[in-house]
Amino acid sequence: MTGSMFTPQAPLGSIPGPVEPTPSALATLAPLALSDVSLTTGFLGDWQRRSAARSLPYCVGRLDGAGALTNLRRVTGEADGDFENMWFADSDIYKTLEAAAWQLGATPDNAELRTFVDTTAALLAKAQAEDGYLNSYRMLKEPDRRWEALHWSHELYCAGHLIQAAVAAARSGVGAEVVTVARRLADLVVERFSTVDAVDGHPEIETALVELYRVTGHRPYLDQAKRFVDLRGRGLLDGERFGSAYLQDHEPVRDTDSVTGHVVRQLYLLAGVVDVAVETHDETLLAAARRLWDDAFGAKTYVTGAQGSRHRDEAFGDPYELPPDRAYGETCAAIASFHWNWRMLLATGEVRYADEMERALYNVIAGSTALDGEHFFYSNTLHLRSGHDGSHEDAPSGRLPWYSCACCPPNLARLLASLSGYLLTTDHSGLQVHLYAAGDVRTTVDGHDVHVAVRTDYPWDGRVVLTVTTDAAVTLSLRVPRWATEVRLDGDVVEARDWYVQVQRDWSCGATVTLDLPMAPRIIAPHPRIDAVRGCVAVARGPLVYAVEQADLPAGVTLEDVRIDPGAPIAAGRLPDIPVTLTVAGAVETAESDELYPAAARTHTEPLELTAIPYFLWGNRTPGPMRVWIPVTTG
């Protein structure tokens, strides 16, 4: 876990996951191959299988018919009619394709998925122009405007997602035609942009080109990615309606110390920034990413890991501007945050990045999909008010089957299909476990085979039992989450809060390590500068943030009137489909007057026992109000 460089050695025939720094990259940790980890029954494994069984086929189905694929068929002449969906709808295809490629790596005999990949690859190859250009919107609607109005066109954004799909296809060994198509387009991008000062309004091409470089070793891809990062912030884009900060084009990355503008744009850019920094050994760029991380996670992140405080421009707010009811918290932003933190973790080995991955994964990302796997949140609020007007998909009262901007569902599918690649890392002599999940790990550390069997019911239970078998002197590092106050290793309390417990054993005959993370329910208080939740606390247990739903309140009680006693003991219980609920003493506090601005707010208080459920499960029973931050009882 030092800052030294380290050469990962993946076993032959393995499937590397997303984000695979080259041997010469600036990296503290190396990812395991996707094929090194298989998740068994448990929270993450079950989720991953649900996504594969329900969400991914659902996304594939949504691309067909009147969906995004039809636009490509219009390009090839196989379909009639006018271009449909958002102008960047090609990217929905590419993200689904990426998800399918990762999934086929794990379950290669999924015939339906393979057909989807093969037919889509063939369609893409047929639709691609002779010179490699591919963008169904421009080809159908504005064939003469290629690469124009880049602040808006999303051409390079779509190209980036195609390249990511190709990277997944190359690593998984499926869909070679996708790789061919993507490389032809990538080569055209390099040809076109290596001598022109231009960037795309929506970052994505940067990280994609670095990954393509990692797969192919073709240096011009990396150079072009670096060029896009270097050129950003020089006002090359038309700021149009929301200004250049919306596009992160107001200040060069190396000079800025504040995350701004459209959250997904900002975070995709930062993934690319870290990728370029580690591959080009650019310490200044990495330092900028650290500064921006401090700003993002020190003052602009919700307790659920969501980011984006403004619906207007899907943007970061000012420092500490974190309204729970108007949280934007786009699902794609949370996925982007997960991606960025993983890159920071690989580069630095610092536990804080894994902490934020866990926060986002178990709360905002987990909550964005319904238990049926076929309904989604685009925006992830922390407070659905009584009387909320949910008539618009911008802030619906529950998860919707699809969105006119359908970026999130396929993004979830690609994350879940590649999730096994984000849980553990290795360095020259150790194996690090960042996220706990029941599963089996078969990898190599410093050339030696290592097998780890992980048995746990995390996050419902805090016990993680790891059985390690290897003939090498491997150091096993187990992450101690920031929220964990007392951690036990094989029954003994260990001092390692907010870092890693390091275990060295003789693993040759298999040795078992038992980690106990504290699962006592706890109170979370907001930083006093977060005005929007002053006088409130949240309830949490392990990595899970809890929420109170109207559904669990007695008849006649309105959620807005509910209070919590922050000093009262919190008891665990359960409800159907909710493994662990939390119950705590509270009150119903109703205003004695309807006056909006009285001289004093007199209230009437009645005691109430309050039941909270994991935030990620809200809205799965009956639709209705919900809140994470609960006002505390007064007096």
Q: Which is nearer to its own copies, 194 or 593 (CB)?
A: 593
Q: Is 323 an interacting residue with respect to its own copies (CB under 8 A)?
A: yes
Contacts of its own copies in 78-107 (CB under 8 A): none
Query: Quick one: which of 283, 318, 449, 486 contacts its own copies (CB under 8 A)?
Result: 318
Q: Is 607 an interacting residue with respect to its own copies (CB under 8 A)?
A: no
Q: Which stretch binds its own copies (CB under 8 A): 82-90, 380-388, 546-554, 574-582?
A: 380-388
Q: Which stretch binds its own copies (CB under 8 A): 104-112, 175-183, 242-250, 505-513?
A: 242-250
Q: Which is nearer to its own copies, 260 or 444 (CB)?
A: 260
Is the alpha carbon torsion for 394, 541, 457, 16 positive or negative?
positive
Q: Is 307 an interacting residue with respect to its own copies (CB under 8 A)?
A: no
Closest CA to 473 of 502, 493, 500: 502
Q: Which is nearer to its own copies, 138 or 326 (CB)?
A: 326
**DSSP H or E run through 584:** strand 578-591
Q: Which stretch binds its own copies (CB under 8 A): 43-51, 178-186, 329-337, 535-543?
A: 535-543
Query: Quick one: which of 524, 568, 572, 578 contacts its own copies (CB under 8 A)?
Result: 524
**548 burial level (CB within 10 Å; 0-12, 13-18, 19+):** buried
Give the start-end residues of each E strand in 199-342.
Answer: none
Q: Is 603 an interacting residue with respect to its own copies (CB under 8 A)?
A: yes
Q: Is 567 an interacting residue with respect to its own copies (CB under 8 A)?
A: no
Could you tell me the two tokens for 64?
A: 């067909």
Q: Which stretch binds its own copies (CB under 8 A): 37-45, 194-202, 466-474, 533-541?
A: 533-541
**114 burial level (CB within 10 Å; 0-12, 13-18, 19+):** middle
Cβ partners under 8 Å of residue 138, min gap 6:
145, 146, 153, 155
Query: Quick one: which of 389, 447, 554, 555 contacts its own copies (CB under 8 A)?
Result: 389
Q: CA-CA distance, 381 to 549, in Å (whole number)?
A: 13
Binding mask 245-264 for its own copies (x = CB under 8 A): x----x-------x-x----
Query: Quick one: which of 321, 440, 457, 461 contacts its own copies (CB under 8 A)?
Result: 321
Q: CA-CA distance, 205 to 295, in Å (whole number)?
A: 24
Q: How far is the CB of 523 from its own copies (least distance, A)?
A: 7
Q: Is 598 an interacting residue with respect to its own copies (CB under 8 A)?
A: yes
The total number of residues shown for the chain amounts to 635
Task: Label residue 516 left, alpha or beta by phi (over 0 means left) and psi (-120 to 50 means alpha).
Answer: beta
Q: Is 214 an interacting residue with respect to its own copies (CB under 8 A)?
A: no
Q: CA-CA distance, 308 to 326, in Å (whole number)?
A: 9
Query: Quick one: which of 13, 387, 491, 576 contacts its own copies (CB under 8 A)?
Result: 387
Q: Is 604 an interacting residue with respect to its own copies (CB under 8 A)?
A: no
**Cα–Cα distances in angstroms (integers) from residue 105 to residues 120, 261, 410, 417, 547, in the given order:** 17, 36, 17, 9, 37
Q: CA-CA distance, 117 to 99, in Å (whole number)?
A: 10
Q: What is the side-by-side order of every strand in the sheet holding 511-516? A: 37-39, 439-445, 448-456, 463-470, 511-516, 487-489, 492-494
CA 94 to chain centre: 17
Is the alpha carbon torsion for 487, 490, 493, 494 positive or negative?
negative
Q: Which is nearer to its own copies, 172 or 244 (CB)?
A: 244
Query: Quick one: which of 22, 140, 198, 242 contacts its own copies (CB under 8 A)?
Result: 242
Q: Is 306 an interacting residue with respect to its own copies (CB under 8 A)?
A: no
Q: Which is nearer to its own copies, 12 or 600 (CB)?
A: 600
Q: Is 526 an interacting residue with respect to its own copies (CB under 8 A)?
A: yes
Which residues sit at the interface with its own copies, rule CB under 8 A? 242-243, 245, 250, 258, 260, 297-299, 301, 303, 310-312, 317-321, 323-326, 383, 385-389, 391-392, 394, 485, 522-536, 538, 560-561, 589, 591, 594-601, 603, 631
